[in-house]
Amino acid sequence: MNQFLTKIFEIYNQSRSKINPAWNWEGIKNTYERESELFENIFQRSSTNRYNFQKDLLINSLWIASNVTDSYLKRPNCYYCGLMFERADYFNGIVHIDHFNPISKTGIHSAGNIIPTCKDCNLLKSNLSDDELLTIFRTPEKFFSVKYLKSTETKKEKLKDFSALFFQRSAGGEEYRNAFKITIYDQRKHQDDMKANYRIKWQND
């Protein structure tokens, strides 16, 4: 067992009482052994001093590293726009580790609030909250009458399109289908097409 694996094994053992039983050591170890460099990179990024405010930082960082590495092994893409990632993107700044609910609002630094996104989506989303993004989707005129007053029309249009991607992720199935007037049989294709069209329009993908 190498030095890093020994370290995270100790973290795991010391925190077992706080861990979901389904999250077992063999699963973590297997994920690490399949992609150790990425696992260590995400762990280091998640446990820096900027997150010292977070209770149980090391076990949360271990959980984050395991989840993000596992998502890379299964389907490496942006949570919002679906942009597919290359392995190098996790090291060169293309992939951001985003807090779904911003820390500057009410979000916490934990695996349940962490998602891998592309740089473009994360910077556009910035610290917008769930409610703000849903307001942009449902009543953009209301939102832009009080916020982003100095933004260009292009920026506002991009935020409107992005808010639809966010709605896609946060809305229930029935609400989603009603909003776009589609059937359950069309939903998956509609979601994929929306992401692809967003990338074509805004990312030249």
Say if residue 59's pLDDT is above 60: yes
Amino acid at 144: F
The token pair that represents 136 in the structure block = 């942009």
pLDDT tens-digit readout, 126-150: 999 999 999 999 999 999 999 999 9
Closest CA to 41 of 4, 73, 10: 4
Say if residue 205's pLDDT is above 70: no
For residue 95, list its beta bridge partners: 118
pLDDT tens-digit readout, 92-125: 999 999 999 898 888 888 888 999 999 999 999 9
- Mean per-residue pLDDT, 37-66: 91
The token pair that represents 122 in the structure block = 């994360």
Alpha carbon separation from 162 to 41, 81, 144 (Å, rounded): 28, 8, 14
Q: 8: number of CA atoms within 13 Å, CB side?
A: 28
Neighbouring C-beta atoms of residue 174, cutoff 10 Å: 9
- Alpha carbons 105 and 113: distance in angstroms, whole number: 12
For residue 99, list its beta bridge partners: 114
Residue 19: per-residue pLDDT: 63
Q: Which helix H or strand E contains 74, and what residues bound it?
A: helix 57-74
